[in-house]
Amino acid sequence: MSELTPKEKKIIQKKILQLSAEIERHDRLYYKDSQPEISDFEYDCLKAELLHLESLLPADSLIKFGDDRSGILLTHKHYTPMLSLENTYNLNDVFDFDTRIRKLLEIENDIIYMVEPKIDGLAVNLIYEHGQLKYALTRGNGIEGDDVTDNVKTIEALPLGIENISERIEIRGEIYMDQAIFHRINQEREERGEVLFANARNLTSGTIKLMDSEEVRSRQLKFIAYGVGLGGDFITQNDVYLFLKQLGFQSQRCFHVCEKIKDVEQIIKQLDKERKQLSYDTDGVVFKVNECVLQAKLGTTAKAPRWAFAYKFEPECAETILRDITFQIGRTGVVTPVAELEPVNLSGSCVSRATLHNADDIEKKDIRIGDRVIVEKSGEIIPAIIGVKVEYRKNKISEKFIFPEKCPCCNAKLLRLLEEVARRCPNMNCREQVIQKIIYFASKTAMDIDGLGDALIRRLVENKKLKTIADIYSLQKEDLYLLDNFGDKSVNRLLSNIEHSKKTELWRFVNALGIPLVGEKTAKDLALHVPSLNILMNNISIDDLLNIRGIGTKAAQSIVDFFKKEENVNLIHELLASGVECSILSIKKNPKFSGKLFALTGKLEKYTRDRAKVLIEENGGSVTNVINSKVDVLIAGIEKGQKLREAEIKGIQIWTENDFLNALS
């Protein structure tokens, strides 16, 4: 390439500066706020462009690491730096990588690679001293990271003690969250009108920095180990995984040793097909030189090891036309904009709707009806509009989208509460809100009225047969005969299901009421500790609620406020008058359980974990996920692992499943 003129150099320098500033802003949004504005793919493209510009002016600018330090948490230094991985979206680069390192190593033969999924989570460094977990650190700036030890200790399968007596060892791996938990939390956030997390990765990094470890525990994070920093000496990468497994870590189960680079390509294609079956999100494939001697010869650059490389899957994106913007109104009145799209094929399914998140997001991206937009769906996330192809707007007249000031259903003026991005309809009688409240009331984890689904509820509200939740219990045969497709059999079945739902458990009833910030879990926590509905309604103070494990200040306040409102109390009285009865889980004072702290490990044959937990609590005990000196009894099923070993070391009493059954009887 010919020498650059001073003018060209200046232009490139200016571009580098602009691009660096932009990347820095996105780093902040991604690492510190866990709320990125652009997708990983767009981010990687910015970085690739910066790298390209830098290569034109070698000494002029240095690409920096992302930095996830919050500035609030204590930090600690890593004993060996936590590096990043060089990555690509292009298969040709995979072969170039192989050629490059063979050249560096002066090897003509094939190189053996370890190939495995790239887990889309959050990197952590676990420092064990004399076998005990001392620090858990985020990557931070690669040199020092945030101390998130207390939160990491809530991860159920993570060993707090390992059989490794060396003075210090660093275990590297990825923290992630299962999709089911991610969806549950986002759903709860949506109900509260809070900003949604775009994917499980962002929620994981938001979670790991929370101050409330109990909240972190409830989010059930997981950990997969994939490397050893300080303190490891291995022959192959394969041995690293065997070692990690022996120590009790969940390590990569899905890995392939490839004899040559062509096989790596094969595995990349295979993993791309199989990735939906993994329990974690994966955004690509990592391949590592298998032999540690060769790894050592190759060494690292300032940013990444030279012996590893990541191929990233392109996110599934498609372009289509935004036909309209409609609105969904939730049971608490939150108004969510929805993109109605010209149907388009994305990840094998036909997408015709996508989320537009909130008014601010539409404004920021300047999304207009009629625009050609880019829809993205990566992993399990809801399809979202990530951008607009503004160039297609040129010859068309389009208008900026103005978010309505009034509720699209009942015309009430929308409110924007302090610190909330969501707009809310304040009218409790708004038809859509009523429909959503009734849907929630009848749903599986609430009153569980089989057959009373969304469509039927909508029709009954439209026909004015249901105006409030309580009307469910005064539905008559003739109300249902009026509907199409409803014959004797379906009418009788539905009425019998409605009748059947009247005898319910307290937690279901509390959940069904739709108290803001009270979902299934909080309702269960409440019901375990509050003796009756009457007491919950009349005799509970914020302090009493705060003494219940799992209930925080905001939820406590919301519960007290709910029962102060006359309309809520009237609704409950109406429901009780129509025959709803809630049984409570009585806490027996079983001396084998009472006041004791239990932990569980391995699979029980007779009960699920959740059921075992309820039984322990019903008998007066409580349950934790961590083994520490406060634990009185460990119940060990089959497939016992690290927890059992830890309990034995700590001298904690151990029960078999049989001991547990005997204690219950």
Choose, by CB under 6 A, the member of 114, 123, 344, 457 that binds ligand IVH: 123
Supply the minimum distance, in Å, between the C-beta of residue 119 and ligand IVH: 4
Q: Is 356 in the site for ligand IVH (CB under 6 A)?
A: no
Q: Please identify, using beta-carbon distances, which residue of 119 and 556 lies nearer to ligand IVH.
A: 119
How far CA 335 is from CA of 206, 416, 432, 442, 462, in Å, comes to 24, 10, 10, 22, 20
Q: Is 119 in the site for ligand IVH (CB under 6 A)?
A: yes
Phi, psi values for residue 528, rounded to 5°: -75, -25
- State how far the Cα of 171 lies from the Cα of 163, in Å rounded to an integer: 13
String of contacts with ligand IVH for each residue 408-437, x by CB under 6 A: ------------------------------
Q: Is 228:169 a contact under the CB 8 Å cutoff?
A: yes
Q: Which of these ranges, 303-311, 414-422, 627-635, 638-646, lies near ligand IVH under the rule CB under 6 A?
A: 303-311
Q: Please identify, using beta-carbon distances, which residue of 223 and 593 lies nearer to ligand IVH.
A: 223
Would the CA dihedral through 346, 352, 355, 359 be positive or negative? positive
Supply the minimum distance, in Å, between the C-beta of residue 16 and ligand IVH: 22
Amino acid identity of residue 391, one-letter, is E
- State how far the Cα of 646 lies from the Cα of 658, in Å rounded to an integer: 21
Q: Please identify, using beta-carbon distances, which residue of 45 and 638 lies nearer to ligand IVH.
A: 45
Q: How many CB atoms lie within 10 A of CB 570?
A: 12
Supply the minimum distance, in Å, between the C-beta of residue 97 and ligand IVH: 14
Amino acid identity of residue 473, one-letter, is Y
Q: How many CB atoms lie within 10 A of CB 418?
A: 4
Q: Is 131 in the site for ligand IVH (CB under 6 A)?
A: no
Choose, by CB under 6 A, the member of 116, 144, 371, 525 that binds ligand IVH: 116
- CA torsion 253-258-261-263 (nearest 10°) is -90
Q: Is 136 in the site for ligand IVH (CB under 6 A)?
A: no
Report helix, strand or coil for 414: coil
The DSSP H or E segment spanning 105 is helix 91-105
Q: Please identify, using beta-carbon distances, which residue of 305 and 519 lies nearer to ligand IVH.
A: 305
Supply the minimum distance, in Å, between the C-beta of residue 395 and ligand IVH: 42
The total number of residues written for the chain in this structure: 665
Q: How many CB atoms lie within 10 A of CB 397?
A: 6
> Interface residues for ligand IVH in 256-295 (CB under 6 A)?
286
Q: Please identify, using beta-carbon distances, which residue of 310 and 582 lies nearer to ligand IVH.
A: 310
- From the candidates 15, 118, 312, 565, give the one annotated as an active-site residue: 118
Q: Report CA 103 to chain centroid distance, whole Å.
A: 42
The bridge status of strand 597-601 relative to strand 622-624 is parallel
Supply the minimum distance, in Å, between the C-beta of residue 99 and ligand IVH: 21
Q: Which of these ranges, 45-53, 304-312, 452-460, 634-642, lies near ligand IVH under the rule CB under 6 A?
A: 304-312
Report helix, strand or coil for 638: strand
- State how far the Cα of 41 lies from the Cα of 317, in Å rounded to an integer: 10
Instruction: Identify whether 364 is a catalytic site residue.
Output: no
> Interface residues for ligand IVH in 527-556 (CB under 6 A)?
none
Q: Is 308 in the site for ligand IVH (CB under 6 A)?
A: yes
Supply the minimum distance, in Å, between the C-beta of residue 116 and ligand IVH: 5
Choose, by CB under 6 A, the member of 97, 197, 226, 307 that binds ligand IVH: 226
Q: Please identify, using beta-carbon distances, which residue of 285 and 633 lies nearer to ligand IVH.
A: 285
The DSSP H or E segment spanning 490 is helix 488-501
Choose, by CB under 6 A, the member of 12, 16, 83, 354 that binds ligand IVH: 83
Q: Is 84 in the site for ligand IVH (CB under 6 A)?
A: yes
- State how far the Cα of 543 lies from the Cα of 65, in Å rounded to an integer: 46
Q: Give the residue from 276, 379, 261, 269 showing the smallest Cα distance to 309.
A: 261
Total of residues contacting ligand IVH (CB under 6 A) = 14
Q: Is 247 in the site for ligand IVH (CB under 6 A)?
A: no
Q: Is 104 in the site for ligand IVH (CB under 6 A)?
A: no
- State how far the Cα of 536 lies from the Cα of 540, in Å rounded to an integer: 6
**Any bridge partners for residue 305, and if so which?**
300
Q: Which of these ranges, 82-90, 156-164, 542-550, 653-661, lies near ligand IVH under the rule CB under 6 A?
A: 82-90
**In the complex, residue closest to ligand IVH by CB:** 123
- State how far the Cα of 665 lies from the Cα of 655, in Å rounded to an integer: 15
Q: Give the residue from 39, 83, 123, 144 showing the smallest Cα distance to 288.
A: 83
Q: Is 401 in the site for ligand IVH (CB under 6 A)?
A: no
Supply the minimum distance, in Å, between the C-beta of residue 641 and ligand IVH: 22
Q: Is 118 in the site for ligand IVH (CB under 6 A)?
A: yes
Choose, by CB under 6 A, the member of 174, 191, 371, 432 that binds ligand IVH: 174
Q: How many CB atoms lie within 10 A of CB 167?
A: 11
Across 356-499, the runs of DSSP E, i.e. the strands, are 372-377, 384-388, 423-424
Choose, by CB under 6 A, the member of 140, 161, 227, 315 that binds ligand IVH: 227
Which residues are known to be catalytic? 118
Binding site for ligand IVH (CB under 6 A): 83-85, 116, 118-119, 123, 174, 226-227, 286, 305, 308, 310
